[in-house]
Structure 1
């Protein structure tokens, strides 16, 4: 599980019922939900949560650095609660499913100095693409 709820508690984040349900919906491994998916799951748990509250809460969590936005191939932005655990993403080219992956090696070390063009490189985002078992031809 991601430790999103624990991180928010340690920060002293004001935990209203509506904000809490948004954080609970996001908490977990391999969670990459769109804002509409967060809204649907949150309202299933707490019907009075509003679209504005969900969107505002997601924006605040991103601004705090507790959740990252993941965008692939022009699809809807997704929200990843594993903001403090280095990882890459494996994306299904068919259905858009996203999984967190932790390959060995350092992608920064794989970029030769001649390809850095004087940049001081501080990070790398690697996206692996393929077909998940449900989309792959039988």
Structure 2
């Protein structure tokens, strides 16, 4: 999907102007899901050259607001971005190396979990983060004390 015409179509479909920074950020997040802002900035700079932190923050905010990106922030970590939007998937996070992996919804369609008491809210999303050790970190020998 990082084909430029597809990215342009997504921007136009969200009533956003097609700009080089928006295209570069969308492509970076599509190619590197769960990236943080600094990583995205580095990827965008490889594509465009000079671009400010503020410009990338502004683009991330606009793309998230338009529903083209999803912002996630597992407890104790910086915000991450992904292009997988419109479904209610969850995430696996490694406590050791920090890798984040998508996992399908725990119970079907959104919000895919039923609250014990919705307190009158109309629920449309549930966010679940599973924590543990990824296969690579599990395979590492235990540290010697």
* Both structures adopt the same fold (TM-score exceeding 0.5): yes
Q: Say yes or no: does 1:21 pair with 2:24.
A: yes
1:52 aligns with one of 51, 54, 65: 54
CA distance in 1 between partners of 2:42 and 2:133 (Å) = 26
Match of residue 13 from structure 2: 10
Match of residue 77 from structure 1: 79
Report the TM-score, using the length of structure 2 for normalisation.
Answer: 0.78
CA distance in 1 between partners of 2:133 and 2:139 (Å) = 9
Q: Unmatched 5+ residue regions in structure 1? A: none
Q: How far 1:109 sits from its partner (Å)?
A: 6.3
| Matched residue count | 135
Higher relative contact order (CA 8 A, sep 6+): 1
Match of residue 143 from structure 2: none
1:134 aligns with one of 121, 133, 136: 136
Report the TM-score, using the length of structure 1 for normalisation.
Answer: 0.81
Contact 1:19 1:53 in 2 (8 A): no
Contact 1:2 1:81 in 2 (8 A): no
RMSD: 2.6
